[in-house]
Structure 1
Amino acid sequence: MDEHENRRSSYPLTIPDALLQSEAMQQACAARNFREIFRLVNRRTGTSHAAMAAAIGKMTSSRVSDVIRGVRGIRGQEVMERVADGFGIPGEMLGLPRRPWQGSPEDSVRPEASTYPDSADQKTSGALPIPRMGDSDEINIEYSDLRGDDFLSDSHDMLLVSVWIEGRKQLMAINRRSILAGTVGGVLQGVGISQVPVLESGSALKSASFPKLKDSQVDAAIEHLQDMWHALVRMDNLFGPRHALASVHQQLSILESLLEHVRGNQRHEVLGLASKYAESAAWLHEDSADMASAEKWTRQAMEWATESGDQLMVSWTLFRRSQQATTRKNAAQTISLAQSVQRNAAALTAPVRAAARQQEAHGYALDGDERACQQRLDEAHAFAASPDAKGDGRTGHGDFCTPSYIEIQRANCWLTMSRPDRAVPVFERALVELPDVYQRDRGLAQVRLSMAYAGIGEYDAAATEAASALQIARISGSTRTLNEAVSVANAIGVKCDSPAVANLITAVRSETEF
């Protein structure tokens, strides 16, 4: 390794030379196409969004995700320079001044890279480590997913991997989980886990996401992931699924890997934590209007909770199944599942009791049973969570089920029973009292209020609330809220042509980020 390479490799996330010199990377850099640059680094090196953000500095993993999806861009020169330094990209490739690590122009003369033909019959000898960020660029791995982009999906287990070894490329079939450590290296290094799995010569795959850990390492990982879960719950409440879903799936991948090895009490702890993350994934998918994934992860959460013996979590997954039945407008299942939660009374906290009762009320609303619906909602208030909760789940399941949340559900039930006149004043009062931390819930409540206004012919008020909800949906990525805002716009657009309604229609038509 020459002097130039030594200087370049000292930066946080030095991408392999093979990637840097690839035509795709050179074209992306010449066009300052940071979306493509980020995508190449993420896909071809297996580096997580969190590790990329850490390398660049002053950037979050959610912003990296937004750049890759084209939601946001990179514009300021100072940010571009941080990207160049973080990834080890020479300044001239991005039209920037020479970077400090490049040295003087005389130092930059380097021999041209040699090219080698593909070799289909080349055999490897010894073990081949899966490189992590900072490894020598003499080994580069390119991932080729036969299914699509999401290589961490558990729908299919195999990837074709083009492995460059001393200048020669070989194609190998590798289990997704065996490359997981490369994508979560930043998190694992934080808890003292630095080893990665190896593929042995003559073997198609070596299953194990990472080797068996010491008890102290597992304990540290559990503590770290527990703190991460609380942060993700709060992030969801504040900003919605766009910012939380990718992180939840990353942590789930780590937990699934830990479950391959842990035993005894530690296994019960990991199972309990995994069930929480799975339930969070279910909710985030539901808010993203992906009900198939929501139901899949709810079932997985129930399985892990059952294995761990966590009766409270089992009950909570039944509550979530009841919510999903409400979305399908299945009154009988909504009521039955909510009642099954309440039968396990000894395991329930007060907020879970409140959540189950208000959920049962939704079933009665679907049935048109006004009296039973209102009775269950009144009962829920006796168990409501404190409005002072921070929205991070630290006080347990159902901490969102505050008095204002229950009243919002009362208003929703009035809408279900075709009584928008009763829903409007309840929504108006509850929104004033809703804690600020529940911004995503606020957006959904506002779009439902707009439906109620439309139902009583107050079209300007409906347009105002729908526009506000649309803004929250854009920020949070809540497809459910967006869809309902669009429905309101369509409904009132044929009834009224006032400026407020026209502005809402324009906002909906200009919406391109979902």
Structure 2
Amino acid sequence: MRRREFFKASAGAGLAVGLPELAPLEAGPRIGRDLPVQLRMRTERLRRLDDILGGGDTYRVYLGEYQATKAVLRDGSYTDETGRSLLSVLAEQAQQAGWAAFDAGKSSDARSLYEASHLAATDAGDRVLAGNALAFLAYQQTSVNPQAGIDMAIESCRTAGAEAPSGVRALLHERLAWAYAVAGLASQTEQALRSAEDALSENDGLPQPDWAAWVDSRELQIMTGRCWTELRRPIRAVPVLESALARFDDAHARDKSLYLSCLATSCLAAGEVEQAATITTQVLELSAGVASVRPRQRIAPVLQELSAHRAVPAVAEAMDMAGV
């Protein structure tokens, strides 16, 4: 009970107050080709924060990095080649800041940053990053207008092109699969998932960008389970999600709680009320104090359905922890 009350108190008190601003890299009036390399390496290191923290913690840091690079582009002097490299870094930073904004519930800020990223990547001639910016926009658009989300996800794959690194193509086809799933299009979802799997199985020898390095077979399993959950196919979704999540570290609390919420949804769709309630309790425990709005948003429909089964002890525990 003490642990349960601690989680409630920490979530209510808003323990996630954000990280302090970081000291920017020094840049003189004449920018050399080494600065974009340093900025990209710094961006890669800071991206690791997203593995363990929510967007409410990281948004200000990522936005500060984006704004600092924007100031370098505005005020510095550099060659055309260096300028394109800086624009590519800027596009990458805008995507990271946009993702944190989305995770923190700042949808308008996220959309603006994704659009800025697409513009910067296009100006830099970086088709792969431009395609990923469109994929982010599609992911955000899907819940509002599924067809628009599908159209944008298709465009993201087309923009990145068949020559994009295999990990990038897998990531973009995963997001296309999700757009199809939200629209209820099962056969198209399956085809997009197969395309993602085919891309992952390739050994194209191309360097994979750091922002797509997390896409692997386990991630594809999770997306497959999420898609089948969205399509209300629990018999397909549950074993895939259970297998993938058995190897998922609790240290990645936000992501694991999000994926567990899909498992809870599918268990409930299969009529397994007690199992769904037990998983819901896990979601609430893992996400307590995490500065992300998404775990609670995803588990809310499950809690609403579980409320009809309060007599089941596991349900009562979950409802008590949720404070509903």
| 2:310 maps to 1:496 | yes
Cα distance in 2 between the residues matched to 1:261 and 1:474: 43
Map of 1:118 onto structure 2: none
User: Relative contact order, CA 8 A, sep 6+: which one is greater?
Assistant: 2
Contact 2:14–2:289 (CA<8 Å) still a contact in 1? no
Map of 1:332 onto structure 2: 147
Alignment of 1:368-447 (within 5 A): 368-384=184-200, 395-434=209-248, 438-447=252-261
Contact 1:272–1:304 (CA<8 Å) still a contact in 2? yes
Cα distance in 2 between the residues matched to 1:248 and 1:362: 26
Contact 2:101–2:107 (CA<8 Å) still a contact in 1? yes
Contact 2:53–2:290 (CA<8 Å) still a contact in 1? yes
Change (3 A) 1:237 1:331: same
Map of 2:7 onto structure 1: none
Partner of 1:383: helix, strand, or coil? Answer: helix
TM-score normalised by L of structure 2:
0.82
Partner of 1:477: helix, strand, or coil? Answer: coil
Alignment of 1:89-100 (within 5 A): none
Map of 1:171 onto structure 2: none
Q: CA deviation at 1:462?
A: 1.4
Unaligned 5+ residue runs, structure 1?
Answer: 1-65, 74-182, 194-211, 387-392
Map of 2:5 onto structure 1: none
Map of 1:274 onto structure 2: 90
Q: CA deviation at 1:248?
A: 0.5
Q: From 50, 66, 69, give the equivalent of 1:252.
A: 66
Residues 441-450 or 397-406, more deviating: 397-406
Alignment of 1:39-188 (within 5 A): 71=15, 187-188=23-24
Map of 2:268 onto structure 1: 454
Change (3 A) 1:277 1:385: farther
Give the percent of matched residue pairs that are identical in Structure 1 and Structure 2: 22
Q: CA deviation at 1:289?
A: 2.5
Q: CA deviation at 1:236?
A: 0.5
Change (3 A) 1:72 1:273: closer
Cα distance in 1 between the residues matched to 2:227 and 2:175: 10
Cα distance in 1 between the residues matched to 2:171 and 2:307: 36
Structure with greater strand share of residues: 1
Cα distance in 2 between the residues matched to 1:437 and 1:379: 30
Residue 150 of structure 2 aligns to which amino acid in structure 1?
I
Map of 2:156 onto structure 1: 341
Q: From 344, 357, 379, give the equivalent of 2:173.
A: 357
Map of 1:23 onto structure 2: none
Cα distance in 2 between the residues matched to 1:458 and 1:321: 35
Partner of 2:311: helix, strand, or coil? Answer: coil
Cα distance in 2 between the residues matched to 1:384 and 1:440: 25
Residue 360 of structure 1 aligns to which amino acid in structure 2?
L
Q: CA deviation at 1:301?
A: 0.6
Could you report, residue by residue, the CA deviation over 1:193-221 in whole angstroms, capped at 9, with x for unpaired residues? 6xxxxxxxxxxxxxxxxxx62436x845x
Structure with greater helix share of residues: 2
| 2:319 maps to 1:505 | yes
Could you report, residue by residue, the CA deviation over 1:51-87 in whole angstroms, capped at 9, with x for unpaired residues? xxxxxxxxxxxxxxx9xx86279xxxxxxxxxxxxxx
Contact 1:424–1:449 (CA<8 Å) still a contact in 2? yes
Cα distance in 2 between the residues matched to 1:243 and 1:445: 20
Which of structures 1 and 2 has the bigger CA Rg?
Answer: 1
Cα distance in 1 between the residues matched to 2:261 and 2:231: 17
Say how many residue pairs are matched: 304
Change (3 A) 1:429 1:70: closer
Contact 2:177–2:190 (CA<8 Å) still a contact in 1? yes
Q: CA deviation at 1:416?
A: 2.0
Contact 1:298–1:321 (CA<8 Å) still a contact in 2? yes
Cα distance in 1 between the residues matched to 2:255 and 2:26: 38
| 2:128 maps to 1:312 | yes
Contact 1:450–1:465 (CA<8 Å) still a contact in 2? yes
Could you report, residue by residue, the CA deviation over 1:332-371 in whole angstroms, capped at 9, with x for unpaired residues? 2233222223324254110111122222222332343322
Change (3 A) 1:385 1:401: farther
Map of 1:300 onto structure 2: 116
Map of 1:228 onto structure 2: 42
Unaligned 5+ residue runs, structure 2?
Answer: 1-9
Q: CA deviation at 1:192?
A: 4.8
RMSD after superposition? 2.9
Cα distance in 1 between the residues matched to 2:121 and 2:269: 42
Q: CA deviation at 1:276?
A: 0.8
Q: CA deviation at 1:316?
A: 0.9
Map of 2:100 onto structure 1: 284
Contact 1:288–1:479 (CA<8 Å) still a contact in 2? yes
